[in-house]
Amino acid sequence: MRRLTYALAATAVTAAAPALAEKWDMPLAYSATNFHSENAAEFAQCVTSGTNGEIEITTHPSGSLFKGADIKRAVQTGQVPIGERLLSGHQNENPLFGFDSVPFLATSFDDSVALYEAAKPKLEEVLAEQNLTLLYAVPWPPQGLYFKDEVTSVEDMKGVKFRSYNSATARLAELTGMLPVTIEAAEISQAFATGVAESMVSSGATGYDRKVWESLNYFYEVDAWLPRNYVMVNSDAWNGLGDANKTVLTDCAATAEANGLQLSKDYTQFTMDGLAEGGMTVAPASDTLVGELKTIGETMTAEWLEAAGDDGQAIVDAFKN
Ligand code: PCA
């Protein structure tokens, strides 16, 4: 009897002993002041306090730990357990990652959410095959066009040096006769200041965050698409967690997804106002330009559907129904 009591006591002591604290470094591609990064920092805090420090997440913004283009591989290979990246940044690897950058497919926040829900099961499957577990995803505000000089039609875009952030934006440049150069958002202020690039497609939020009015003069609202950032965990790291900590991460992720969406909505007008205060002309694109971009959008949609095959078509069908 006594032996049994001791045995039970020993078990109780083991169970009560605090688990070894894990420090998780979380690379982010975008600057600390960007709303995605601020949201990720809150998510990190939520996990750290929710797990009583058993998992302590530290965010590393601006591509300071891993450059944007290297973050997914770093998480996949376990160099870091968690990270955030622009999802469509991987569409050259698998067209499905570009479902949210098909021009004019989903142009509002509501449609962005519906498209994401339609794509999520397949997205999770593709990520799982790569040893990645999806935690949350947040859309950027609608994408518009930035230029140095006034642009009223595609004709005005010919030969302009254009900063791209994924293969869809590089293709857009090609189809409008511009010269694409891939540059991470964290480095665009310098690229514009030195003339390496003189235009881009992006959100008001990124232009505002990077103070592009120092080099550029026009922002045309196009609402072409709303690309997402997503937060992924290495699946081995995920599987190694206890159920309680998994629940904390999942709950904090759900909060971050909801908060991030709201922040993105709030930032849409706020940052366009900020661009105007910085001295830029902020206006809807001309009817001519919109019409021409829609035609280009049809070409790009057809190309994406061709590349993404049945899975891509199934996402579009689920979104439209
Ligand atoms: N900002 C990011 C992606 C989309 C956006 O609005 C960027 O320009 O890199």
What whole-number distance in Å separates Cα of residue 291 and Cα of residue 288?
A: 5
Is a pLDDT exceeding 70 seen at residue 1? no
Residues forming beta bridges with residue 228, ordered by sequence position: 139
Residues 221-252 have pLDDT tens digits of: 999 999 999 999 999 999 999 999 999 999 99
What's the pLDDT at 92?
A: 95
Whole-number Å distance between alpha carbons of 165 and 27? 18
Query: Tokens 């002309």 label which residue?
Result: 281
Instruction: Spell 66-97 as b/e; 16+ CB within 10 A means b.
Output: bebebbbebbbeebbbbbbbbbbbbbeebbbb
pLDDT surpasses 50 at 58? yes
- Tokens at 213, concatenated: 């009015």
Domain ranges of the chain: 2-141+227-269, 144-224+278-320
Q: Which CATH number fits domain 2-141+227-269: 3.30.420.140, 3.40.1190.20, 3.40.190.170, 3.40.50.300?
A: 3.40.190.170
Query: Is 183:190 a contact under the CB 8 Å cutoff?
Result: no
CA of 214 relative to ligand 1 center, distance in Å: 18
Q: What is the pLDDT of residue 20?
A: 74
Q: How far apart are CA 32 and CA 27, in angstroms?
A: 11
CA 187 to centroid of ligand 1, rounded, Å:
12
12 pLDDT more than 70: no
Q: How far is the CA of 15 from the centre of ligand 1 (A)?
A: 46
pLDDT of residue 138: 99
- Residue 167 tokens read as 């293969």
Average pLDDT for residues 146-168, to the nearest whole number?
98
Nearest CA to ligand 1 atom 3: 202
Out of 67, 138, 140, mutate this one to test ligand 1's pocket (max ligand atoms within 8 Å of CB): namely 140
pLDDT tens column, 261-283: 999 999 999 999 999 999 999 99
CA dist 259 and 202 (Å) reads 21
Out of 11-15, 56-60, 119-123, 208-212, least confident range: 11-15
Residue type at 91 in one-letter notation: Q
Kindly list the protein residues whose Cβ atom lies closer than 6 A to any atom of ligand 1: 86, 140, 165, 185, 202-203, 205-206, 227
Closest protein CA for atom 4 of ligand 1 = 202
Distance 41 CA to ligand 1 centre (A): 19
Count of residues in the chain? 321
The CA 294 to ligand 1 mean position distance, Å, reads: 20
Q: How confident is the model at residue 18 (pLDDT cuts 50, 70, 90)?
A: low
User: pTM of the entire structure?
Assistant: 0.93
In CATH, 144-224+278-320 is 3.40.190.170: yes
Chain segment 97-134, per-residue pLDDT in tens: 999 999 999 999 999 999 999 999 999 999 999 999 99
